[in-house]
Amino acid sequence: MFSWLGTDDRRKKEPEVFQTVSDGLKKLYKTKLLPLEESYKFHEFHSPALEDADFDNKPMVLLVGQYSTGKTSFIRYLLEQDFPGMRIGPEPTTDSFIAVMHGDTEGVIPGNALVVDPKKPFRKLNAFGNAFLNRFVCAQLPNPVLESISVIDTPGILSGEKQRISRGYDFAAVLEWFAERVDRIILLFDAHKLDISDEFSEVIKALKNHEDKIRVVLNKADQIETQQLMRVYGALMWSLGKIVNTPEVIRVYIGSFWSHPLLIPDNRKLFEAEEQDLFKDIQSLPRNAALRKLNDLIKRARLAKVHAYIISSLKKEMPSVFGKENKKKELIASLGDIYKRIEREHQISPGDFPNLKKMQDQLQAQDLTKFQPLKPKLLEAVDDMLANDIAGLMVLVRQEETQKPNAVVKGGAFDGTLDGPFGHGYGEGAGEGIDEAEWVVARDKPAYDEIFYTLSPVNGKVTGANAKKEMVKSKLPNTVLGKIWKLADIDKDGMLDDEEFALANHLIKVKLEGHELPSELPAHLVPPSKRKIAE
């Protein structure tokens, strides 16, 4: 009896099916999260409503730093071409936010026109007013790098109260808006001037809750000696530790990100390795973009839920007729206690609550009697989204990732070191001798042969047990030696002849010199007599 009720109830609980991650995020946001946000004035307190462009746009990289740390030069280095509106100099040159994006023709779109374009994810920036919009432009140009990512250049952060006041808009709030929507935040520091100004400190604190997106670049590191560089690196980590309150150490990349010759080339190899790591991090952004948007939506949903509990609690405590103003002051003063009560009642982590001081300041301008009481149906919809729909989208994210495994940033500086002799690590480690006609192991083979013949070879081969006695002298772990054995035993007979033994020793040397072992033996390392077997 009444079985149709159960069927309908089950239908409600089934997660929705979506064609793409982007479409799924848009629909979930509009149908399940947005009603909760609108009901409890979430957009007035935290972040404007999301639009379709926020879900469809390419990954964005935000560059932040004090003036003359090389932010604009960094973009120029990545793109390998100038972009419209670009100015570089030792004085504070970039006085605007410049969104560097892909376009069929070169040109600049001013801020006021930019915030009315529904295809760009900047419409909600109009809330910061003309003082900001007059300092916001979009530079468009045809560039292969920009086909995969967009880059946001920011004004150099200045020290001194006068400059901070004269901006005419809330600089930290604008950066916080961008931080919520970008995929990577790169903080640039100049190795010559590490002082973190008050405004920069304020900006870094505004990036709280986005620590997972932050990377730090210590730029212009080629201008100081190795000993000084170590001290500067230590000082930077100490300074960051005082501002960024996380137990983890922020990843710092050291280098010189412009196309000029290195002034002090002593640390060239370090700079190359660091640049390679940073490039890999940036190149992975298109592949992880859907996951990042999903993660940001979950973070937003958790905050919206907590916000709803706070607002409804305040509404519940407000009198209906007399003493409204006094009660409002009392509630704002005791907001910390309300946080703790909500935390206990709903088992919410303290880290999910908004900043107490900021929330108290915002509540001063609100009429608490106009707040909405708790609406369980709205919260249930968000809980259902987090428990069921998000799980379905996670499967779709993985499917999309496997369908486009080569979704990486290409072009510009990213292509400069991919192939040829200037690729990272080319001709080093296991790559040594790649261009030589002669087998590279042959250089040291006489020395290896002497050891080989002391191991009592039978029919020109030493057993695994005898070879092991010699190989363990390297003090490398068994897992590494096992990999070396698999690479060196080309004919897979469980023994090594003189060439295979020489190859094993060559690979041990490669590993001891700090290089990685290849997953498969490169063609140039195969012994001449075994090349037919390898084929």
Per-residue pLDDT at 500? 93
Per-residue pLDDT at 155? 87
Per-residue pLDDT at 33? 93
- Judged by DSSP in three states, 412 sits in coil
Contact 281, 217 (CB under 8 A): no
pLDDT higher than threshold 90 for residue 365? no
**494-498: long-range pairs with CB below 8 Å, 24+:** 494/463, 494/464, 495/461, 495/462, 495/463, 495/464, 495/467, 496/461, 496/462, 496/464, 496/467, 497/457, 497/460, 497/461, 498/445, 498/448, 498/449, 498/452, 498/457, 498/460
Contact 96, 135 (CB under 8 A): yes
Q: In whole angstroms, give the CA distance from residue 486 to residue 392.
A: 41
- Of the two residues 31 and 533, the one the predictor is more confident about is 31
Contact 66, 156 (CB under 8 A): yes
Contact 411, 279 (CB under 8 A): no
State both tokens at 16.
């929705």
Around Cβ 106, how many Cβ atoms within 10 Å?
14
Contact 74, 45 (CB under 8 A): no
pLDDT tens digits for range 185-212: 999 998 887 777 777 888 887 787 788 8
Q: In whole angstroms, give the CA distance from residue 157 to residue 159.
A: 7
CATH 3.30.200.20 describes domain 19-47+289-402: no
Per-residue pLDDT at 10? 43
Contact 216, 240 (CB under 8 A): yes
pLDDT higher than threshold 50 for residue 6? no
Picking from 195, 212, 216, the residue whose alpha carbon sits closest to that of residue 274 is 216
pLDDT tens digits for range 417-469: 656 666 666 767 778 888 888 898 999 999 999 999 998 888 999 999 999 99
pLDDT tens digits for range 303-333: 999 999 999 999 888 887 777 888 888 888 9
Per-residue pLDDT at 9? 46
Give the mean pLDDT of 514-526. 88
pLDDT higher than threshold 70 for residue 24? yes
Q: In whole angstroms, give the CA distance from residue 447 to residue 124.
A: 71
Around Cβ 80, how many Cβ atoms within 10 Å?
16
CATH 2.40.50.140 describes domain 59-283: no
The model's pTM is 0.77
- Of the two residues 214 and 157, the one the predictor is more confident about is 214
- Judged by DSSP in three states, 509 sits in helix
- Can you state the angle between helices 376-384 and 285-317, rounded to 10 degrees? 160
Most confident of 55-59, 232-236, 364-368, 501-505: 501-505
Which neighbouring-strand residues pair with 495?
Answer: 463
* Phi, psi torsion values for 254, nearest 5 degrees: -105, 135
State both tokens at 530.
């075994």
Q: Which residues contact 268 (CB under 8 A, 6 or more apart)?
A: 262
- Can you state the angle between helices 335-346 and 324-333, rounded to 10 degrees? 70
Q: In whole angstroms, give the CA distance from residue 425 to residue 435.
A: 14
Give the mean pLDDT of 120-132. 89
- Judged by DSSP in three states, 41 sits in coil
State in words which class domain 427-528 has: mainly alpha
Sketch the domain layout of the chain as residue ranges.
Answer: 19-47+289-402, 59-283, 427-528
Give the mean pLDDT of 498-521. 91
Q: First CA to last CA across the chain, in angstroms?
A: 72
Q: Checking DSSP bridges between strand 150-153 and strand 60-65, what pairing results, if any?
A: parallel
pLDDT tens digits for range 55-113: 888 899 999 988 878 888 899 999 988 888 777 665 555 578 999 999 999 999 999 99
pLDDT tens digits for range 46-55: 888 888 888 8
pLDDT higher than threshold 70 for residue 247? no
pLDDT tens digits for range 369-408: 888 998 999 999 999 998 888 888 888 888 877 777 667 7
Contact 201, 159 (CB under 8 A): no
Q: In whole angstroms, give the CA distance from residue 420 to residue 441.
A: 22
Which neighbouring-strand residues pair with 496?
Answer: 462
Per-residue pLDDT at 2? 42
Q: In whole angstroms, give the CA distance from residue 294 to residue 396.
A: 11
Q: Which residues contact 370 (CB under 8 A, 6 or more apart)?
A: none
* Phi, psi torsion values for 157, nearest 5 degrees: -80, 130
